Structure 1
Amino acid sequence: MFYEDHKNQAFYAMLNKENIRYEFLKGNLSSLLKKLKTFDSKTVVHTHGYKAGIFGRLACIVTKHRCISTYHAGEAGTGKLKIYNKLDKLLSPLSTNFAVSEQIKASLKNATLLENFIAINSSSIHFNRCDNKTLNIGFVGRLSFEKGPDIFCRLAENMQQDLDIKFHIFGDGPLKGEVPNLHNLQYHGLVERNDIWSKIDVLLICSREEGLPMALLEAISEQKFIISSAVGAIPSIIKHDETGFLMLEANAQHCQYQVEKLLLLPEEQTKNIINNAYKILEERFSGKQQFLILQKAYTGT
């Protein structure tokens, strides 16, 4: 259920393809209240996002439905977003709360850790480049300041002379119009997951702030090498030189250093690092434990 129609046609098309039902409210609290009153008392409202959390909790008090909220984002934000995030956290006592990282959990008064989870690709570990002559590096996520697409673009600009490397951006967002036109950088927009992982060898996360990005888990499942800034819950998965590379800072200079380091890494060592990350994925993010936690919350037992 969307608070309003955000005109995100590419995302709606993906939902339609997966046969996921959805509907739009009218962008106000009254339309949410009217809709919730059509559901029986056993219906549980699970909110995702600061605005959904704020209005969802307030509406559930009126309609007497149970409200569950998941806190995904680790960034504080600026301007109106900062105010919304603060209000979202202040109202957290009105719902049963989950946080996707320990860092986010610590910022709330009552929350349980519920790490993201995915269906794991069980194919054998490999690191065969999509293009034998080129290392393809991808940015996957929302094009917003905290995710650092500007850092990724600056890296691509700085490495234009390296003909063995190509950069790819997947996603949409407010900084879409700032993606430069470079011969070694391709912007793909919002595409299906399979169209991402078949085109890249390395996932580069240059976020300034982060929770636990789903793209990280998906990339590990698809046996992609991870280079990331050490933010949010990422260091709990990516250990430098063991399960990927961590950057000291989220900037183009540190990104380039790690990319150049990967180019010199022996193939066997590269495979070992990917394999180590995959083992952590199997142990913590297969969804078995997460399902039990969600089931308990939904049933109220």
Structure 2
Amino acid sequence: MSKCCTPTICMFLDSRGIGGIESHVLQLSAALQAQGYSVRVLFWKDYGQQHPLHTQLISKQIQVIYLNGSIARLRSYVLKQGVSVLHCHGYKASILARLFCRTSRVRLVSSYHAAEACTGALAFYTKLDFYSARLSDANISVSLALQQQVKGTCVHIDNFVNINPVNERPLRLKRPQIAFVGRVVAVKAPQRVLELAAHLPGFDFLIYGHGDMEHQLKQSSPANVIWKGQVKNMQSHWKQIDLLCLTSLQEGLPMAVLEAMANKVPVMTTKVGGLASLIEHRRNGYMFEHFNALKWSETLLDWQSLSKSQAEHLQRQARASIEQHYSAKALLPRFQQLYGC
């Protein structure tokens, strides 16, 4: 792409940690940068410390800007720095950008990543985000269920991950390492992991993440539950994990699931969000309508009893699903089309 006509695309979000939205922003920014776009990531404010994504973005030559919580600074930066596209992630970013982008030449794109049940002010702003969607030039949802809630034109584009080479994974079926990756909060139902651990003392359950349920759950945590805390980048950890358990009550299309499968880690999950179109039961993972600790435990024991060739086939199928349908190569052209560049 010629330098003189390189579009500048800015990702904008309000964030202080790493979760699904942040992982998506990193993957999308890196994929666009690799295609020759000028990509920058705007954080609403720094919350007193460098964002956990900062180092990863800089390592990929992606510029990072902190706006110090100023709408005036956001407007000034976007209008004076030759920004072609402002891509917002999360309700606050979209609402703030809609205050001025309609009167500018900047193309405004909003992504909807989740629609968790909430109350109070958060419920009001979430609803405002959905109902003001028509003020964006384009809207993206990561699942069909989310798409139906947006009050304006909205296209469904699945999350994706950049595919990296993965060596053959060691199999630890004698004492499997089962992971939970996400916020330790009610909507993610992390207490279900502890139920599984109680049923399966011969398995280790690794919990990656922090949240307001963490202290309470640690009080009743079985000995085979290992609390790993928040990590900035899961990439170096996937090789230590044999299977990912997603126990959530609600989801969009979790980045942790895509990253796991891209690293040949099969997933066991409830049928939430966009996962029904990704996981085929017993072909590339395990999918259940509802959580049942006894049934999930029995399935984990069945998985543990697979032969080496059967387990490796499941790993390969998990990765192949991502390569074919949820990779940058498969989905980036749809973002480029919406950006108009």
Secondary structure, counterpart of 1:118 in structure 2: coil
Is it true that 1:23 corresponds to 2:65 in the alignment?
yes
Q: Where does residue 280 of structure 2 map in the other structure?
A: 239
From 221, 228, 239, the counterpart of 2:269: 228
Secondary structure, counterpart of 2:65 in structure 1: coil
Q: Where does residue 13 of structure 2 map in the other structure?
A: none
How far 1:29 moved relative to its partner? 2.9
Q: Where does residue 117 of structure 1 map in the other structure?
A: 160
Does the 8 A contact of 1:50 with 1:88 survive in 2? yes
Does the 8 A contact of 2:184 with 2:212 survive in 1? yes
Q: Where does residue 215 of structure 2 map in the other structure?
A: 177
Q: Where does residue 135 of structure 1 map in the other structure?
A: 176
Render the CA deviation track for 1:60-89: whole Å, top value 9, x for unaligned.
124442200111114243333322221111
CA–CA separation in structure 1 for the residues paired with 2:337 and 2:51 = 34
Residues 225 and 51 of structure 1: CA distance in aligned 2, closer, same or farther (over 3 Å):
same
Q: Where does residue 271 of structure 1 map in the other structure?
A: 312
Does the 8 A contact of 1:32 with 1:59 survive in 2? no
One-letter code aligned to 1:167: F
Residues 174 and 63 of structure 1: CA distance in aligned 2, closer, same or farther (over 3 Å):
farther
How far 1:13 moved relative to its partner? 4.5
How far 1:234 moved relative to its partner? 0.5
From 74, 98, 108, the counterpart of 1:67: 108
One-letter code aligned to 1:275: R
From 202, 223, 228, the counterpart of 1:188: 228
Does the 8 A contact of 1:229 with 1:250 survive in 2? yes
Q: What is the 5 A alignment of 1:124-163?
A: 128-129=170-171, 131=172, 133-156=174-197, 158-159=198-199, 162=201
Is it true that 1:34 corresponds to 2:76 in the alignment?
yes
Does the 8 A contact of 1:170 with 1:196 survive in 2? no
TM-score (norm 1): 0.86
Q: Where does residue 88 of structure 1 map in the other structure?
A: 129
Does the 8 A contact of 1:237 with 1:277 survive in 2? no
Does the 8 A contact of 1:247 with 1:254 survive in 2? no
Q: Where does residue 204 of structure 2 map in the other structure?
A: 166
Does the 8 A contact of 1:247 with 1:258 survive in 2? no
CA–CA separation in structure 2 for the residues paired with 1:264 and 1:289 = 34
Does the 8 A contact of 1:138 with 1:170 survive in 2? yes
One-letter code aligned to 1:3: W
Residues 13 and 292 of structure 1: CA distance in aligned 2, closer, same or farther (over 3 Å):
closer
CA–CA separation in structure 1 for the residues paired with 2:75 and 2:237 = 39
Does the 8 A contact of 1:146 with 1:208 survive in 2? yes
Deviates more, 1:64-73 or 1:261-270: 261-270
Residues 92 and 254 of structure 1: CA distance in aligned 2, closer, same or farther (over 3 Å):
farther
Secondary structure, counterpart of 2:303 in structure 1: helix
One-letter code aligned to 1:190: Q
Residues 133 and 265 of structure 1: CA distance in aligned 2, closer, same or farther (over 3 Å):
closer
Q: Where does residue 292 of structure 1 map in the other structure?
A: 333
How far 1:18 moved relative to its partner? 4.7
Does the 8 A contact of 2:325 with 2:331 survive in 1? no
TM-score (norm 2): 0.77
Mind listing any 5+ residue stretches in structure 2 that lack a counterpart? Answer: 1-41
Secondary structure, counterpart of 2:240 in structure 1: coil
CA–CA separation in structure 1 for the residues paired with 2:179 and 2:338 = 36
How far 1:189 moved relative to its partner? 2.1
Q: Tell me the percent identity.
A: 30
Q: Where does residue 259 of structure 1 map in the other structure?
A: 300
One-letter code aligned to 2:63: R
Q: Which runs of 4+ in 1 moved over 6 A?
A: none
Mind listing any 5+ residue stretches in structure 1 that lack a counterpart? Answer: none
How far 1:264 moved relative to its partner? 3.2
Query: How many pairs does the alignment contain?
Result: 294
Deviates more, 1:212-221 or 1:164-173: 164-173
Q: Where does residue 79 of structure 1 map in the other structure?
A: 120
One-letter code aligned to 1:296: Q
